[in-house]
């Protein structure tokens, strides 16, 4: 396992196991990095209403799922894809009947805001290798990070995976890939539309048709052994009108 991933795992676990996180009434939520802004805001709304402190940990869904499997005391898990929720489900670590498909998203090609590339309609004939020039393409590591897995599916649908794979800048999460584009370290990146929308330092070049990849679905579920009343209440709160409005504001498609 790569050192940056180990460091991330250690930081997440330390956060979840801190005295503050274990304090009476506090709720630890593990959620995909792409939900950072929306769930942070929703957490504040929930705290204002219930006086329960929400302590979120955001990272790649794969990283979080593995930590939960190792015993990290998250009460609720929100994944950026079905795969990692299934991973925990198969280990009987998701409370039966609690799992819901919460959100949807779309996949976009981005460039630094200073890029001379103009917006375009992405089709199977769009030449991404030519657009890259001599640079690299940033996205989540396709071996485990959901956004990278979706990106790989899209690139395969375009018959460009073999050409692009050696030129990937493999990031630990969608937000790490976004940061590479923001800093101008790479000319292009593939992220979720919601991540591109939170910064003015990148621009969307085009959206990948949803026929090029599996549906982007964010499932949420209670974690076995940690499904406190607060966790159940927060999961229910995610389906309220107030929470739905926040998700919609950040560009998510609300499924529930």
CA–CA distance, 197 with 121 (Å, rounded to integer): 18
Per-residue confidence (pLDDT) for residue 25, from 0 to 100: 73
The count of other CB atoms within 10 Å of the CB of residue 45 is 16
Q: Which domains does the chain have, with CATH numbers?
A: 3-104+217-254 (3.40.190.10), 107-212 (3.40.190.10)
Per-residue confidence (pLDDT) for residue 10, from 0 to 100: 56
CA–CA distance, 154 with 206 (Å, rounded to integer): 13
* Strand stretches in 33-182, DSSP E: 54-59, 76-78, 100-104, 107-112, 137-140, 168-171
List all residues 6 or more positions away from 255 whose beta carbon is below 8 Å from its beta carbon. 101, 102, 103, 104, 217
As a dihedral over the C-alpha atoms of residue 70, residue 76, residue 78, residue 82, rounded to 10 degrees, the angle is: 60
Are the C-beta atoms of 177 and 183 separated by less than 8 Å?
Answer: no
pLDDT tens sequence across 177-210: 999 999 999 999 999 999 999 999 999 999 999 9
Scan for tokens 């498609």, then name that residue: 253
CA–CA distance, 4 with 149 (Å, rounded to integer): 19
Token couple for 139: 């996205």
Scan for tokens 């107030």, then name that residue: 242
Q: Which of 4, 194, 225, 219 minimizes the C-alpha distance to 93?
A: 225
Q: Say how many residues make up the chain.
A: 256
Q: Is the pTM of this model over 0.75?
A: yes
Q: Give the residues of the chain that fall short of pLDDT 70.
A: 1-24
């Amino acid at each position: 396992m790569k050192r940056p991933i180990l460091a991330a795992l250690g930081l997440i676990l330390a956060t979840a196991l801190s005295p503050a996180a274990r304090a009476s009434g506090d709720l630890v939520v593990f959620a995909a990095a792409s939900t950072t802004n929306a769930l942070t805001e929703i957490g504040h709304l929930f705290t204002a209403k219930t006086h329960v402190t929400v302590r979120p940990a955001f990272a790649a869904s794969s990283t979080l799922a593995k930590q939960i499997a190792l015993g990290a005391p998250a009460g609720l898990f929100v994944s950026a894809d079905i795969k990692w929720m299934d991973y925990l489900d198969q280990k009987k670590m998701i409370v039966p009947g609690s799992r819901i498909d919460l959100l949807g998203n779309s996949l976009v090609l981005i460039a630094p805001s200073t890029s001379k590339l103009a917006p375009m309609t992405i089709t199977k004939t769009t030449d991404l290798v030519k657009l890259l020039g001599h640079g690299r393409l940033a996205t989540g590591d396709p071996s485990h990070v959901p956004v990278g897995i979706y990106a790989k599916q899209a690139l395969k649908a375009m018959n460009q995976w073999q050409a692009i794979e050696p030129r990937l800048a493999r990031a630990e999460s969608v937000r790490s890939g976004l940061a590479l584009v923001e800093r101008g370290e790479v000319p292009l990146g593939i992220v979720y539309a919601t991540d591109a929308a939170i910064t003015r330092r990148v621009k969307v070049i085009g959206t990948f048709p949803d026929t090029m990849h599996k549906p982007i679905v964010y499932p949420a579920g209670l974690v076995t052994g940690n499904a406190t009343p607060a966790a159940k209440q927060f999961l229910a709160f995610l389906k309220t009108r107030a929470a739905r409005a926040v998700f919609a504001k950040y560009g998510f498609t609300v499924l529930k």
